[in-house]
Chains A and B, each alone.
Chain A
Amino acid sequence: MTSSAAVVRLEHVSKRYGPQGGALAVSDLSLEIPAGEIVVLVGPSGCGKTTTMKMINRLIEPTSGRITIDGEDVMSLPAVELRRRIGYVIQQVGLFPHLTVAENVAVVPRLLRWPPGQVKDRVEELLDLVRLEPATYRDRYPAALSGGERQRVGVARALAADPPLMLMDEPFGAVDPILRDRLQNEFLRLQAQVRKTVVFVTHDVDEAIKMADRIAILQRGGILAQYDTPDTILANPASEFVARFVGADRGLKRLSLACVRDLPLSQPITARPGEPRAALRDRLESAAADYALLLDEQDRPLGWIGRRDLGGEGAVAADDATPGSPTVQPETTLRDALSVMLSSSVQLGVVVDERERVLGLISVDAISATLGGASVEP
């Protein structure tokens, strides 16, 4: 897949609603968004982050200033043409309910009059990319999809015409935290492949820290407070406001900079259904372990079994295990991993890959150790 990324420049951009002398929603904003990077606009409500993003594709027209994409002024072409070259993802997704998944994804390529064969191939490619099996999902209607599936189709749809620029407005805001973590991880993996320029809006500082190559913190009235890498912002906030916005728990926030894969994983004692209980008891004893992790044939976790529950004869069965232990992925930030484990009151989190296969374990202790000032290299 070709990857093309644009440079976006905002030069002294302002937006005022209402008559002259009224309040500014965005105030003399100048920003350069490098090609192939994710820049996150973040700030409290009323800071103009969404307004700024929408001025890039002219859903909102700036009052003054200039916005260029690869040097071309956005006002120099018809808005409709401009928008067909920019991918757009919003929180409620906005999938067209009367079109199938394939038809939804194909919208922009069709608007650009791609040949039908090319459209079809591209749709398949994208559905694969967002890990929705084309044969299963192609002809489904949005009403039949789950929240996470809809989000994925939304991302595929935005990528369809291979735009050099993506605008994303709280795209993962409407789903539960665990699904959000997964979707964020998937998007980061995707970005590693396609390397698009992405302008991402969120109100969640932790999401900003996790996703961004660069963060632009905006204050009320669309004033730029700081524009830097996440690490720099956490280490050297430029003002009181930034320090307060990022949060007093800046140390804790740095846990968002590192991911599970940055720490060494320990390996559990594993077992499969069908193993004789006596044998498993023995293995646990000789390893001085109290619990084993039960896996299915695809190496996916079924739950933990305690040594104490392994009395009697016979084979280990799937429902011997206590299910529901939370799982995290290599791309999950340490902060999210810690949060997930603490809220389930477990010491060990099971790390799985994108197919839910077990990779290893991570412990609360190991994460807490990184808080002790030793900086972790992301």
Chain B
Amino acid sequence: MTDGRPFIDLDWIVRNLDDIWQRTADHVVLTVLAVGIGFAISMALALAIRRWRVLQAPVLAISGTLYSIPSLALFSLLIPFTGIQSLLTAETALVSYTILILVRNLIAGLDGVPPEVIEAAEAMGYGDWQRLWRIELPIALPVIIAGVRIATVTTVGLVTVTALIGLNSLGSLIVNVGLARFFFTATLVGSLGAVALAVAADVGLTALQRVLTPWARSRALGT
């Protein structure tokens, strides 16, 4: 199967732990950058949409269209302008993908704040930004974090494709080491690593949400 080597070469893994670790770190950086920048842009878009609803349809249509373009194709469309083997290329595409998910969740979360809560906040003397920061965003947090979870898991998968445009990540382990040398162990390690990252992010964010929203766990007594 693998040219005389054992099916899973544990030795190789141990010897290359540093390299594997480095690729994992790179993978994490690419992911966090994309989700972080995507979140900031999405927040700005969501706030703009809530202020001028007419923007909602076009923004969602555009990001929806971008979302359906396969990642390799989107990278390729950017390369002539932002460079091959370029962080800018990768991040531009990755951020675009997160935007659709995050904008939708931000809008849904903020729209989900009960109108009487908003009326009460206004009547009690909260200014607009105060109300957003202290009332609306905290209440919308569960939905927002759910969106961040999905965006993160999705991005972890997409980062693997950046290996095809020359960037370092667990994806390069899968393709440049594993596939190129027909070396299953490397591919397996890269794949499991990516899955582990995705699961860890998902679990971590879920835990974060529980910590940040103790009120969401309350149950009505007897009603």
| Chain A contacts to B: CB under 8 angstroms | 57, 59, 80-86, 88, 90-100, 107-108, 111, 140-147, 157, 167
Contact = CB atoms under 8 A, between A and B. Distances in A.
Nearest to A108: B124
Given A144-B221, A146-B221, A146-B223, A98 B138 contact: yes
A96 B136 CA distance: 9
A111 B220 contact: no
A84 B139 CA distance: 22
A147 B222 CA distance: 11
B124 A107 contact: yes
A90 B221 contact: no
Contacts of B222: 146
Contacts of A81: 125
A93 B120 contact: yes
B117 A94 contact: yes
A108 B124 CA distance: 7
A143 B220 contact: yes
Contact of B126 (A80, A99, A146): A80
Contacts of A144: 218-221
Nearest to B123: A88
Contacts of B221: 144-146
Contacts of B138: 98
B119 A80 contact: no
Q: Taking each of A92, A93, A95, A97, which has the highest tally of chain B beta carbons within 10 Å of its own beta carbon?
A: A97
Contacts of B120: 88, 90, 93-96
Interface of chain B: mostly helix, strand, loop or mixed: helix
A141 to B, nearest CB: 4
A108 B130 CA distance: 13
Contacts of B118: 94
Given A92-B114, A93-B120, A144-B220, A98 B125 contact: no
B9 interface: no
A84 B219 contact: no
Interface of B: 114, 116-127, 135, 138-139, 141, 213-216, 218-223
A-B CB proximity, top 3 nearest? A94-B120, A84-B125, A94-B116
A175 B62 CA distance: 46
Nearest to B113: A97
Contacts of A157: 124
18 contacts: A59-B119, A81-B125, A83-B124, A85-B125, A86-B123, A90-B116, A91-B116, A93-B116, A95-B120, A96-B117, A97-B114, A98-B216, A100-B215, A111-B124, A142-B215, A142-B218, A143-B218, A146-B221
Contacts of A167: 123
Of B119, B139, B215, B221, chain A has the most CB atoms within 10 Å of the CB of B215
B125 A80 contact: yes
B215 A141 contact: yes
A346 B48 CA distance: 61
B117 A111 contact: no
Contacts of B139: 96-98
Given A59-B119, A94-B119, A107-B124, 17 more contacts: A57-B123, A83-B122, A88-B124, A90-B116, A92-B116, A93-B116, A93-B120, A94-B116, A94-B121, A96-B117, A98-B135, A98-B141, A98-B216, A108-B125, A141-B214, A145-B221, A146-B222
Given A80-B127, A92-B116, A94-B114, A143 B215 contact: yes
